Amino acid sequence: MKKFLLLILITSLFWLPISAQTTWWVENFGSGTGWTLEDNWSINSGKLRFYWSPTITNFDCSAVSPTITLHENVQDLIVKQYLDVYSGGSEIAEIYLIVAGDEHRLWDFNLTGSNWGSANGTDIAFDISEYGGQDAQIKFRTFGGTTYNWNWWDVFSLTITAYFDNDLCVNGVTGPGNIDLNETGTWEVEVENLGLQTQSNFTVDLYDCKEGDPIGSVLVTDNLATGEIGVYEFEWTATEVFNTAFYANIPNPDDFEPNNTSDGHFVRVNPNVEFNVLIWDNDNGQVTIIDPEIGDYIQAQVGIKRALDAAGISYDLYSYLPTDLSGYDMIFATLGCYCLG
Protein backbone atom coordinates (compact mmCIF):
# COMPACT_ATOMS: atom_id res chain seq x y z
CA MET A 1 0.00 0.00 0.00
CA LYS A 2 1.28 3.46 -0.81
CA LYS A 3 2.20 5.63 2.14
CA PHE A 4 0.59 9.01 2.73
CA LEU A 5 2.86 11.91 3.67
CA LEU A 6 1.53 14.27 6.32
CA LEU A 7 3.83 17.26 5.78
CA ILE A 8 1.94 20.23 4.36
CA LEU A 9 3.76 22.91 2.37
CA ILE A 10 2.21 26.32 2.87
CA THR A 11 2.44 28.76 -0.03
CA SER A 12 1.93 32.23 1.42
CA LEU A 13 1.71 34.31 -1.75
CA PHE A 14 -1.92 33.56 -2.52
CA TRP A 15 -3.75 33.36 0.78
CA LEU A 16 -7.27 34.75 1.01
CA PRO A 17 -9.60 36.36 2.08
CA ILE A 18 -10.63 38.63 -0.75
CA SER A 19 -12.96 41.55 -0.03
CA ALA A 20 -15.40 43.50 -2.20
CA GLN A 21 -15.48 40.94 -4.99
CA THR A 22 -18.48 39.09 -6.37
CA THR A 23 -18.58 35.38 -7.07
CA TRP A 24 -19.50 35.50 -10.74
CA TRP A 25 -18.89 31.88 -11.91
CA VAL A 26 -18.45 28.61 -10.01
CA GLU A 27 -17.53 25.06 -11.06
CA ASN A 28 -18.27 22.49 -8.32
CA PHE A 29 -17.75 19.42 -10.53
CA GLY A 30 -21.26 18.09 -10.19
CA SER A 31 -20.68 16.57 -13.64
CA GLY A 32 -17.91 16.44 -16.22
CA THR A 33 -19.90 18.24 -18.89
CA GLY A 34 -17.64 20.08 -21.34
CA TRP A 35 -14.35 18.99 -19.76
CA THR A 36 -11.60 17.29 -21.79
CA LEU A 37 -9.87 14.70 -19.59
CA GLU A 38 -6.68 12.85 -20.52
CA ASP A 39 -5.24 9.70 -18.90
CA ASN A 40 -5.58 9.44 -15.09
CA TRP A 41 -7.83 12.54 -14.88
CA SER A 42 -11.45 12.02 -13.81
CA ILE A 43 -14.44 13.91 -12.44
CA ASN A 44 -16.56 12.23 -9.77
CA SER A 45 -17.72 12.69 -6.17
CA GLY A 46 -17.71 16.47 -6.62
CA LYS A 47 -14.08 16.92 -7.57
CA LEU A 48 -11.61 16.86 -10.44
CA ARG A 49 -8.84 14.36 -9.68
CA PHE A 50 -5.50 13.28 -11.14
CA TYR A 51 -4.65 9.82 -9.77
CA TRP A 52 -1.39 7.89 -9.88
CA SER A 53 -2.89 4.62 -11.15
CA PRO A 54 -2.49 3.16 -13.70
CA THR A 55 1.21 3.96 -13.60
CA ILE A 56 2.38 5.84 -16.70
CA THR A 57 6.04 6.68 -17.36
CA ASN A 58 7.20 9.78 -19.24
CA PHE A 59 3.66 11.10 -18.96
CA ASP A 60 2.03 14.41 -19.86
CA CYS A 61 -1.68 14.54 -18.90
CA SER A 62 -4.08 17.46 -18.81
CA ALA A 63 -7.64 18.37 -17.90
CA VAL A 64 -9.14 21.32 -19.80
CA SER A 65 -12.37 23.16 -18.96
CA PRO A 66 -15.07 24.18 -21.41
CA THR A 67 -14.85 27.68 -22.84
CA ILE A 68 -15.83 30.47 -20.43
CA THR A 69 -16.63 33.98 -21.67
CA LEU A 70 -15.11 36.11 -18.94
CA HIS A 71 -17.00 39.12 -17.64
CA GLU A 72 -15.53 42.47 -18.58
CA ASN A 73 -14.95 43.24 -14.90
CA VAL A 74 -13.40 39.84 -14.10
CA GLN A 75 -10.88 39.86 -11.27
CA ASP A 76 -9.64 36.54 -9.82
CA LEU A 77 -9.63 32.83 -10.53
CA ILE A 78 -9.73 30.94 -7.21
CA VAL A 79 -8.79 27.26 -7.20
CA LYS A 80 -9.60 25.11 -4.17
CA GLN A 81 -7.21 22.17 -4.32
CA TYR A 82 -5.06 19.61 -2.52
CA LEU A 83 -1.95 17.88 -3.85
CA ASP A 84 -1.02 14.61 -2.14
CA VAL A 85 2.52 13.51 -3.03
CA TYR A 86 3.87 9.99 -2.58
CA SER A 87 7.54 10.61 -3.35
CA GLY A 88 9.79 13.38 -4.60
CA GLY A 89 10.77 13.28 -8.25
CA SER A 90 10.92 15.21 -11.49
CA GLU A 91 7.14 15.53 -11.79
CA ILE A 92 5.49 18.95 -12.07
CA ALA A 93 1.92 20.25 -11.69
CA GLU A 94 0.80 23.37 -13.55
CA ILE A 95 -2.29 25.55 -13.96
CA TYR A 96 -2.86 27.57 -17.15
CA LEU A 97 -5.39 30.03 -18.52
CA ILE A 98 -5.87 29.54 -22.26
CA VAL A 99 -6.91 32.71 -24.10
CA ALA A 100 -7.06 33.03 -27.91
CA GLY A 101 -5.07 29.83 -28.25
CA ASP A 102 -2.22 31.08 -26.04
CA GLU A 103 -1.44 29.29 -22.77
CA HIS A 104 -0.66 31.58 -19.83
CA ARG A 105 0.91 29.68 -16.93
CA LEU A 106 -0.54 30.82 -13.62
CA TRP A 107 1.14 28.38 -11.24
CA ASP A 108 3.47 25.40 -10.98
CA PHE A 109 4.50 22.97 -8.25
CA ASN A 110 7.42 20.55 -8.18
CA LEU A 111 6.91 17.19 -6.51
CA THR A 112 9.66 17.47 -3.93
CA GLY A 113 8.01 14.99 -1.55
CA SER A 114 5.79 17.47 0.30
CA ASN A 115 2.04 17.86 -0.02
CA TRP A 116 0.36 21.16 -0.92
CA GLY A 117 -2.67 22.42 1.01
CA SER A 118 -5.08 20.68 3.35
CA ALA A 119 -7.03 17.50 2.64
CA ASN A 120 -10.35 19.40 2.43
CA GLY A 121 -8.87 21.85 -0.06
CA THR A 122 -6.96 25.13 0.18
CA ASP A 123 -7.72 28.24 -1.86
CA ILE A 124 -5.15 29.76 -4.20
CA ALA A 125 -6.02 32.92 -6.18
CA PHE A 126 -4.78 34.32 -9.48
CA ASP A 127 -5.39 37.79 -10.91
CA ILE A 128 -6.91 37.34 -14.39
CA SER A 129 -8.30 40.87 -14.77
CA GLU A 130 -6.28 41.54 -17.92
CA TYR A 131 -8.36 38.93 -19.78
CA GLY A 132 -11.76 40.52 -19.10
CA GLY A 133 -14.34 40.11 -21.86
CA GLN A 134 -12.42 37.30 -23.61
CA ASP A 135 -13.09 33.59 -24.09
CA ALA A 136 -10.92 31.44 -21.85
CA GLN A 137 -10.30 27.87 -20.70
CA ILE A 138 -8.68 26.59 -17.51
CA LYS A 139 -6.07 23.87 -17.91
CA PHE A 140 -4.57 21.56 -15.27
CA ARG A 141 -1.43 19.74 -16.39
CA THR A 142 0.99 17.33 -14.75
CA PHE A 143 3.99 15.70 -16.42
CA GLY A 144 7.27 14.00 -15.64
CA GLY A 145 8.95 10.63 -15.20
CA THR A 146 6.19 8.56 -13.58
CA THR A 147 2.70 8.99 -12.19
CA TYR A 148 3.72 6.66 -9.35
CA ASN A 149 5.29 9.61 -7.51
CA TRP A 150 1.79 11.06 -7.11
CA ASN A 151 -0.95 9.98 -4.79
CA TRP A 152 -3.49 12.43 -6.21
CA TRP A 153 -4.23 16.02 -7.14
CA ASP A 154 -7.77 17.01 -6.11
CA VAL A 155 -9.49 20.16 -7.39
CA PHE A 156 -12.66 20.75 -5.35
CA SER A 157 -13.96 23.94 -6.96
CA LEU A 158 -13.15 26.79 -9.31
CA THR A 159 -14.46 30.29 -8.65
CA ILE A 160 -14.18 33.38 -10.84
CA THR A 161 -14.82 36.75 -9.23
CA ALA A 162 -15.63 40.15 -10.70
CA TYR A 163 -16.18 43.73 -9.59
CA PHE A 164 -19.59 45.43 -9.95
CA ASP A 165 -20.67 48.97 -9.08
CA ASN A 166 -23.83 47.71 -7.34
CA ASP A 167 -23.74 44.38 -5.56
CA LEU A 168 -25.49 43.73 -2.27
CA CYS A 169 -25.00 40.11 -1.21
CA VAL A 170 -27.25 38.30 1.30
CA ASN A 171 -24.77 36.15 3.22
CA GLY A 172 -27.36 34.24 5.21
CA VAL A 173 -30.01 34.02 7.89
CA THR A 174 -29.16 33.16 11.51
CA GLY A 175 -31.40 32.55 14.49
CA PRO A 176 -33.31 29.78 16.25
CA GLY A 177 -33.61 26.44 14.49
CA ASN A 178 -36.61 25.55 16.61
CA ILE A 179 -39.22 27.49 18.52
CA ASP A 180 -42.23 26.68 20.69
CA LEU A 181 -45.81 27.32 19.69
CA ASN A 182 -46.83 30.96 20.39
CA GLU A 183 -43.20 31.87 21.13
CA THR A 184 -41.62 34.92 19.47
CA GLY A 185 -38.11 34.52 18.06
CA THR A 186 -35.59 36.87 16.47
CA TRP A 187 -33.69 36.13 13.25
CA GLU A 188 -30.86 38.15 11.74
CA VAL A 189 -30.03 38.68 8.07
CA GLU A 190 -26.44 39.52 7.15
CA VAL A 191 -25.94 41.70 4.06
CA GLU A 192 -22.54 42.55 2.62
CA ASN A 193 -21.76 45.29 0.10
CA LEU A 194 -19.49 43.64 -2.47
CA GLY A 195 -19.94 46.46 -4.98
CA LEU A 196 -17.76 49.47 -5.61
CA GLN A 197 -20.48 52.00 -4.70
CA THR A 198 -21.85 52.86 -1.26
CA GLN A 199 -25.44 51.62 -0.92
CA SER A 200 -28.46 53.01 0.95
CA ASN A 201 -32.26 53.09 0.72
CA PHE A 202 -32.58 49.39 -0.06
CA THR A 203 -35.03 46.82 1.33
CA VAL A 204 -34.29 43.46 2.99
CA ASP A 205 -37.20 40.98 3.08
CA LEU A 206 -37.52 37.74 5.07
CA TYR A 207 -39.82 34.96 3.79
CA ASP A 208 -41.34 31.74 5.08
CA CYS A 209 -40.64 28.97 2.54
CA LYS A 210 -43.67 26.87 3.51
CA GLU A 211 -46.29 29.46 2.74
CA GLY A 212 -44.18 31.78 0.60
CA ASP A 213 -45.37 34.69 2.71
CA PRO A 214 -43.19 37.60 3.86
CA ILE A 215 -42.32 37.58 7.55
CA GLY A 216 -41.10 41.14 7.55
CA SER A 217 -39.31 43.87 5.64
CA VAL A 218 -36.58 46.30 6.69
CA LEU A 219 -35.87 49.55 4.84
CA VAL A 220 -32.18 50.40 5.21
CA THR A 221 -31.59 54.14 5.03
CA ASP A 222 -28.05 54.19 6.47
CA ASN A 223 -25.05 54.03 4.17
CA LEU A 224 -23.40 50.62 3.68
CA ALA A 225 -19.89 51.22 2.37
CA THR A 226 -17.90 48.92 0.09
CA GLY A 227 -16.85 45.80 2.02
CA GLU A 228 -19.11 46.69 4.97
CA ILE A 229 -21.56 44.20 6.50
CA GLY A 230 -24.98 45.12 7.87
CA VAL A 231 -27.09 42.89 10.15
CA TYR A 232 -30.87 43.38 10.22
CA GLU A 233 -33.32 41.83 12.72
CA PHE A 234 -36.74 40.26 12.15
CA GLU A 235 -39.22 38.99 14.76
CA TRP A 236 -41.74 36.22 14.15
CA THR A 237 -44.30 34.46 16.34
CA ALA A 238 -45.17 30.80 15.74
CA THR A 239 -48.95 30.33 15.56
CA GLU A 240 -49.07 26.74 14.28
CA VAL A 241 -46.93 23.60 14.41
CA PHE A 242 -44.95 22.88 11.21
CA ASN A 243 -41.46 22.72 9.72
CA THR A 244 -40.28 25.43 7.38
CA ALA A 245 -37.27 27.47 6.37
CA PHE A 246 -36.66 31.21 6.26
CA TYR A 247 -34.84 32.91 3.41
CA ALA A 248 -33.93 36.54 2.81
CA ASN A 249 -34.06 38.56 -0.38
CA ILE A 250 -33.08 42.05 -1.56
CA PRO A 251 -35.52 43.18 -4.30
CA ASN A 252 -33.23 45.45 -6.31
CA PRO A 253 -33.32 45.16 -10.13
CA ASP A 254 -30.28 47.46 -10.47
CA ASP A 255 -28.15 45.14 -8.34
CA PHE A 256 -26.18 42.00 -9.30
CA GLU A 257 -29.08 39.62 -8.68
CA PRO A 258 -27.64 36.05 -8.39
CA ASN A 259 -26.55 36.63 -4.77
CA ASN A 260 -29.58 38.65 -3.66
CA THR A 261 -31.34 35.62 -2.14
CA SER A 262 -30.01 33.55 0.76
CA ASP A 263 -30.11 29.82 1.36
CA GLY A 264 -32.93 28.56 3.55
CA HIS A 265 -32.54 28.51 7.34
CA PHE A 266 -34.41 25.54 8.85
CA VAL A 267 -37.04 26.38 11.48
CA ARG A 268 -39.13 23.84 13.40
CA VAL A 269 -42.13 24.77 15.50
CA ASN A 270 -42.06 22.25 18.32
CA PRO A 271 -45.21 20.17 18.81
CA ASN A 272 -46.44 19.67 22.35
CA VAL A 273 -45.55 15.97 22.15
CA GLU A 274 -42.98 13.99 24.10
CA PHE A 275 -41.05 11.27 22.27
CA ASN A 276 -37.78 9.41 22.81
CA VAL A 277 -35.03 8.96 20.24
CA LEU A 278 -32.09 6.53 20.18
CA ILE A 279 -28.95 6.81 18.06
CA TRP A 280 -27.13 3.46 17.95
CA ASP A 281 -23.51 4.11 16.89
CA ASN A 282 -22.66 0.72 15.39
CA ASP A 283 -20.01 1.56 12.75
CA ASN A 284 -16.75 0.87 14.61
CA GLY A 285 -15.85 4.57 14.63
CA GLN A 286 -15.34 4.78 10.89
CA VAL A 287 -14.92 8.29 9.43
CA THR A 288 -16.85 7.69 6.25
CA ILE A 289 -18.76 10.77 5.11
CA ILE A 290 -18.39 14.47 4.35
CA ASP A 291 -20.98 16.84 5.78
CA PRO A 292 -22.38 18.49 2.61
CA GLU A 293 -23.17 21.76 4.43
CA ILE A 294 -20.01 22.18 6.53
CA GLY A 295 -17.55 20.20 4.40
CA ASP A 296 -15.77 18.39 7.24
CA TYR A 297 -15.18 14.65 7.56
CA ILE A 298 -17.46 13.18 10.21
CA GLN A 299 -18.62 9.88 11.59
CA ALA A 300 -22.11 8.90 10.53
CA GLN A 301 -23.69 9.49 13.94
CA VAL A 302 -22.42 13.08 13.95
CA GLY A 303 -24.56 13.85 10.90
CA ILE A 304 -27.63 12.46 12.66
CA LYS A 305 -26.81 14.40 15.83
CA ARG A 306 -26.43 17.65 13.91
CA ALA A 307 -29.83 17.21 12.25
CA LEU A 308 -31.56 16.43 15.54
CA ASP A 309 -29.76 19.26 17.36
CA ALA A 310 -30.87 21.72 14.68
CA ALA A 311 -34.46 20.56 15.15
CA GLY A 312 -34.22 20.79 18.95
CA ILE A 313 -34.86 17.06 19.40
CA SER A 314 -33.15 15.34 22.34
CA TYR A 315 -31.78 11.80 22.04
CA ASP A 316 -29.77 9.03 23.67
CA LEU A 317 -26.49 8.03 22.01
CA TYR A 318 -25.03 4.57 22.65
CA SER A 319 -22.37 2.42 21.00
CA TYR A 320 -24.36 -0.65 22.08
CA LEU A 321 -27.97 -1.67 21.58
CA PRO A 322 -30.02 -1.50 24.79
CA THR A 323 -31.82 -4.71 25.68
CA ASP A 324 -35.14 -2.91 26.12
CA LEU A 325 -36.16 -0.73 23.15
CA SER A 326 -39.83 -0.38 24.06
CA GLY A 327 -39.35 3.15 25.42
CA TYR A 328 -38.08 4.58 22.10
CA ASP A 329 -40.31 6.10 19.45
CA MET A 330 -37.49 6.44 16.86
CA ILE A 331 -34.22 4.52 16.45
CA PHE A 332 -31.35 5.52 14.14
CA ALA A 333 -28.54 2.98 13.55
CA THR A 334 -25.20 3.62 11.78
CA LEU A 335 -23.41 0.71 10.12
CA GLY A 336 -20.56 2.40 8.26
CA CYS A 337 -19.23 1.38 4.86
CA TYR A 338 -18.14 -2.14 5.76
CA CYS A 339 -19.89 -5.18 7.21
CA LEU A 340 -19.05 -5.63 10.89
CA GLY A 341 -19.67 -9.37 10.86
pLDDT tens-digit map of 131-158: 999 999 999 999 999 999 999 999 999 9
Reply yes or no on whether the pLDDT at 14 is more than 60.
Answer: no
Looking at domain 8-162, does it have CATH number 2.40.10.120? no
**pTM for the full predicted model:** 0.72
Q: What is the mean pLDDT of the chain?
A: 89
Q: Give the three-state DSSP class for 237.
A: strand
Residue, of 93 and 340, whose pLDDT is higher? 93
Calculate mean pLDDT across residues 6-30: 59
User: Which fold would CATH assign to domain 168-270?
Assistant: Immunoglobulin-like (2.60.40)
Q: Percent of the chain beyond pLDDT 90?
A: 74
Q: Cα separation of 87 and 81, whole Å?
A: 19
Reply yes or no on whether the pLDDT at 230 is more than 90.
Answer: yes
pLDDT of residue 130: 97
User: In CATH terms, are 8-162 and 168-270 the same topology?
Assistant: no
Q: Give the three-state DSSP class for 302.
A: helix
pLDDT band at 334 (very low <50, low <70, confident <90, very high): confident
For residue 131, give the DSSP letter.
Answer: G
Calculate mean pLDDT across residues 105-114: 96
pLDDT of residue 287: 61
Beta sheet of 243-249, edge-to-edge order: 178-180, 265-270, 243-249, 202-208, 214-220
**Torsion angle of C-alpha atoms 31, 80, 125, 174, degrees rounded to 10:** 100
In whole angstroms, how far apart are CA 274 and each of 201, 304, 327, 331? 47, 19, 12, 15
Peptide bond before 54: cis, by omega within 30 degrees of 0?
yes
pLDDT band at 339 (very low <50, low <70, confident <90, very high): low
> Residue ranges of the domains in the chain?
8-162, 168-270, 277-334
According to the per-residue pLDDT averaged within each range, which of 83-97, 204-218, 321-335 is highest? 83-97
